[in-house]
A and B are shown apart, each in its own frame.
Chain A
């Protein structure tokens, strides 16, 4: 918890006078128009109800008070605290009622949508849970859709998100720890894990990193991701994120830890291993034989997306003897009259594609369509007809792009996109020899990565035979009785 900025003596008594209290609050919040100060009479007392319009709905409080007017007539005007207690215990129907004793506590309660009840002369105030933030309902997760499986996706509300997971794991061992991060934003961040399954060392390490994180603001879970990941610079993500409650539930059951952040539907999972980025939740909802084949296909696509252009460049500029003669005849015919070397040709096409993709992502859907039409015409047809690029190169680029899209995790797709360009440059200057060296360096890098202290390549390096049931393939659930996927 960061120290409150205002010079606030924590044990300073609240003022006896209502007018003074309201005055103080107005100084703290300024003249913000969305803060409502409502003065009412509670039997012998005058009371203030303070809340933020839109964040909290004090309807419940007001109704409760007005229903029981008779009760208030009996309150002792000399014991305001006692009166608050009666109020709390006998009339307030809200589920969550707490006490706030200092200005900073009161402030925090109001800001999180609760309603404060102040009675003249009392040293405490009541804070009633009235958060009613209007928000998006639970919708289908758009970033990871499935054919078979639950369609729910997380929303921007942390509480709702944790509830979505709780509903899937009805087990008292499911624990949630909450804290506030971001000096300015005071964003709620919840850490969720399964007591007994979670690796305590990893949990300790995560707590330590969260505590050490000095953040000014937290607007999305990536703010946290960057603070807790092991290596600052690596093309590969070492924190997994998802929009799907079922994915989080299965990760928790495997002993992983989920990190929820208020205000974003993307929930983080640590530790994240490379294999995880090739798994889709749907693998577990389909028959295992089919799921295995699809998963093998994904690994193949990873290789394809990473290597196709560089491989094409290498063999057409260095190793022509490796191309089967009939293929060579058609390739060489296509390259006839192309003004650029193969590398430049590939580079131009890849960049064009990246531009198209970037344009398509940001544009409104209706315009996005026309961009893709123009794009297809530009890359597919016109460039070949004009003799700027060869038809084979268009095939290479499109295969690369499609293979890239087939990766289930968006962030590992980005890693591939970045590495692809590096590999292309290497292939253009060193041929297959260079590609081999680059692959070795890449493998070394992957093996050196860690996610919260767990080796990134776990289940391959270090090799775990038991885990092989769920890496390249997914064997039937019957073979995994004892397997908890601890990795």
Chain B
């Protein structure tokens, strides 16, 4: 009985000593970092941290003292931890990295390679892996973090939610988390991408509250296509159309709009469902040939022509035009990436790896070169589901009178 008691007391004591309160920190002792920006400078890295100004951002009635909801601190260091440490000389509280929403790379750093940065980010236990990675197109990352945004108090949150919304409804941006980026980077048969952002309009006013005091904010953050990486280096940018094509191939399209010309006008459609798969066939020389199968469902949303929509043949006509447009566009964009960057951001190599692991073995080392010349064809099938609440186009109704 005594032994048991002494034993349990010892256990309780060790419970106290082994864990203790060492990691205890009150909420109001923390500076919550909402976004990190990384630029390269001759001395190493310049890190900018967008830190929440908690009394301003979280207060029940917004701000009272008129200060901004975030503060962007900057510091330079040989390594990232070095720079973050140095930042403490200007911040009143400990930097807390768990709640980062976006990590922005300056274009320069992205072109030099991001693997050194990712090592720290990945190794640090505080950081989650669910934030989005962005590249600041034609600018430094710190500039992106110095713009005040409307709607959301905190610019990092604004960026985060705009990435989600745009990816879901526009499909011309990427939604790349740290996890995904690293997976794509380390797999043999694919290369990663990142979404790009850039500043729109007047940059000088962006950092002050004045930016929000006009009906049209002087400065806004804008999505700027998708950045193509070759391994960990940025090699080029995709425009809006090619970004969409990329998302179609990656099966990342939720819904988006498009348009085709027909019978002296334009028809706009809304994609409501898109599924893609990659088929691989071996030709007689035992070389792989890729076929992209794309199945989509579309609704017609605007008919700017006089086509007679009461006939099934006209809808069939629009349908085949949409299919054709898909084939032409996607083929063109894949070709462009193949020839211009030679970076397999679509994951064709990975598909080959899965389907023909034996053949992949001989391709693995030279995939970068082979990808440039590999044959890729596109097959699409479009189904038109709905044409909206009226049948005939407005223009046709007018003409018939």
Interface residues of chain A, those whose CB is within 8 Å of chain B, are 316-318, 320-321, 325-326, 328-338, 341-342, 391, 428-431, 433-434, 437
A131 → B minimal CB distance (Å): 51
Decide if B54 touches A320 in the complex (CB within 8 Å).
no
- Interface bits B18-62 vs A (CB < 8 Å: 1, else 0): 011101111110101010000000000000000010111111100
**Cα distance A320–B58 in the bound complex, in angstroms:** 15
Residues of A within 8 A of B60 (CB): 333-334, 391
Closest Cβ–Cβ distance, residue B1 to chain A (whole Å): 15
What are 20 inter-chain pairs, A to B, with CB distance below 8 A? A316-B26, A316-B27, A317-B24, A317-B26, A320-B25, A320-B98, A320-B99, A321-B126, A325-B101, A325-B157, A328-B27, A329-B154, A332-B30, A332-B52, A334-B60, A336-B28, A428-B21, A428-B24, A429-B24, A431-B24
Per the bound structure, the CA–CA distance linking A334 and B59 in Å amounts to 6
B111 part of interface (Cβ distance < 8 Å): no
List, in ascending order, chain A residues with CB within 8 A of B19's CB: 430-431, 433-434
Determine which of B16, B27, B154, B157 lies in contact with A320 in the assembled complex, contact meaning CB atoms within 8 Å. Answer: B27
The reply to whether B16 and A332 form a contact with Cβ atoms under 8 Å apart is: no
Decide if A325 touches B58 in the complex (CB within 8 Å).
no
B324 interface residue per 8 A CB criterion: no
Residues of chain A within 8 A of B126, CB atoms compared: 321
Bound CA–CA A329/B55 (angstroms): 10
Partner among B28, B34, B128, B154 whose Cβ is within 8 Å of the Cβ of A321: B128
Report if A336-B59 is in contact (Cβ < 8 Å); known contacts: A316-B27, A429-B20, A429-B21.
Answer: yes
Given A321-B99, A331-B58, A333-B55, residue A342 in contact with residue B26 (CB < 8 A): yes
- Chain B residues numbered 182-237 whose CB sits less than 8 Å from any CB in chain A: none
Q: Please indicate the chain B residues that have their CB under 8 angstroms from the CB of A333 in the complex.
A: 54-60
Who on chain B is nearest to A339 by CB?
B28
Q: What are the residues of chain B within 8 A of A320 when measuring CB–CB?
A: 25, 27, 30, 96, 98-99
In Å, the complex CA distance between A329 and B158 comes to 14
Chain A, residue nearest B31 (CB): A332
**Set of chain A residues within 8 Å of B57, measured between Cβ atoms:** 329, 333
> What is the CB-to-nearest-CB distance from B154 to chain A, in angstroms, rounded to a whole number?
7
Q: Closest CB-CB distance, A345 to chain B, in whole Å?
A: 10
Contact yes or no, A336 B54, CB < 8 A: yes
Instruction: Count CB-based A-B contacts (< 8 Å).
Output: 88
How far does the Cβ of A337 sit from chain B's closest Cβ, in whole Å? 7
A430 touches B15 (CB 8 A): yes
Contact B24 A332 (CB under 8 A): no
Which residues of B lie under 8 Å from residue A341 when comparing CB positions?
Answer: 26
Interface size class of B (residues with CB under 8 A): 20 to 34
What 9 A-B pairs are tightest by C-beta distance, nearest first? A333-B58, A321-B98, A336-B55, A332-B54, A335-B27, A333-B59, A335-B28, A325-B99, A329-B58
Tell me which residues across on chain B come within 8 A of A391, comparing CB atoms. 60
Return chain B residues, CB-CB under 8 Å to A334: 58-60
Within 8 A of A (CB), among B45-94: 52, 54-60
Residues in B neighbouring A317, C-beta threshold 8 A: 24-27
Question: In the complex, which residues of chain A have a beta carbon less than 8 angstroms from the beta carbon of B52?
Answer: 329, 332
Q: How far does the Cβ of A279 sit from chain B's closest Cβ, in whole Å? A: 34
Nearest Cβ in chain B — how far from A360, in angstroms?
29
Bound Cα distance A385, B286 (Å): 77
B154 in contact with A429 (CB, 8 Å): no
* A414 vs B284: C-alpha distance when bound (angstroms): 82
| Chain B residue nearest to A332 in the complex (CB) | B54
Chain B residues near A429 (CB-CB < 8 A): 16, 20-21, 24
In the complex, the answer to whether B99 meets A328 with C-beta atoms within 8 Å is yes
| Distance (whole angstroms) from the CB of B182 to the closest CB of chain A | 20
Pairwise interchain contact B21-A332, C-beta atoms closer than 8 A? no
Central interface residue in B27, B98, B157, by most chain A CB within 10 Å: B27
Question: Closest CB-CB distance, B132 to chain A, in whole Å?
Answer: 13
Q: Which of A328, A332, A342, A433 has the most CB atoms of chain B within a 10 A radius of its CB?
A: A332
Kindly list chain B residues whose C-beta atoms are within 8 Å of the C-beta of A321: 98-99, 126, 128
* Chain A residue with Cβ nearest B127: A321
Report how far A103 CA is from B129 CA in the complex, Å.
Answer: 89
Residues of A contacting B32 in the complex (Cβ-Cβ under 8 angstroms): 328-329, 332
CA distance A336 to B20 in the complex (A): 25
**What A residues does B23 contact at CB under 8 A?**
318, 431
Return the contact of A332 from the options B15, B20, B27 (Cβ within 8 A): B27
User: Given A329-B32, A335-B54, A341-B26, 5 more contacts at CB 8 Å?
Assistant: A320-B98, A329-B54, A331-B58, A333-B54, A342-B26
Q: Across the interface, do B27 and A437 meet the contact criterion of CB distance under 8 Å?
A: no
Query: B158 CB to closest chain A CB, in angstroms?
Result: 12
A391 to B61, CA, bound (A): 13
Q: In the complex where A429-B16, A430-B19 touch, is A331 in contact with B27 (Cβ < 8 A)?
A: yes
Shortest B9–chain A CB gap in Å is 13
Smallest CB–CB gap between A114 and chain B, Å?
52
How far is A428 from B58 in the complex, measured between Cα atoms in Å? Answer: 24
B54 → chain A closest CB, angstroms: 4
Q: A437–B15 contact, CB under 8 A?
A: yes
A169 to chain B, nearest CB (A): 45
Please, how many angstroms separate the alpha-carbon atoms of A342 and B153 in the complex? 26
Contacts of A336 in B (CB 8 A): 28, 54-55, 58-59
Q: In angstroms, how far is the closest chain A Cβ from the Cβ of B174?
A: 21
Please measure, in the bound complex, the distance between the C-alpha atom of A428 and the C-alpha atom of B57, giving whole angstroms. Answer: 27
Assembly CA distance A421 to B18 (angstroms): 23
Complex: A194 Cα to B191 Cα, angstroms: 78
State in angstroms the CA–CA spacing of A341 and B16 once bound together. Answer: 20
B240 → A minimal CB distance (Å): 30
Determine the distance from Cα of A247 to Cα of B126 in the docked complex, in whole angstroms.
54
Q: Complex Cα distance A321/B32, Å?
A: 10
The reply to whether B24 and A337 form a contact with Cβ atoms under 8 Å apart is no
Residues of A within 8 A of B153 (CB): 329
| Chain B residue with the shortest CB-CB distance to A390 | B27
- Asked if B28 contacts A337 (CB within 8 A), the reply is yes
- Residue of A328, A341, A431 contacting most chain B CB atoms (<10 Å): A328
Give chain B nearest CB distance to A281 CB in angstroms: 40
* A7 CA to B223 CA, complexed, in Å: 104
User: Across the two chains, which residue of chain B brings its CB closest to A338?
Assistant: B28
CA distance A321 to B58 in the complex (A): 17
Question: Closest approach, in angstroms, between the C-beta of B8 and any C-beta of chain A?
Answer: 10
Residue from A326, A336, A434 having most chain B Cβ neighbours under 10 A = A336
A429 nearest CB neighbor, chain B only: B21
Q: Would you give the shortest CB distance from A109 to chain B, in whole angstroms?
A: 50
Bound Cα distance from A391 to B58, whole angstroms: 12
Alpha-carbon gap, A412 to B15, bound state (A): 29
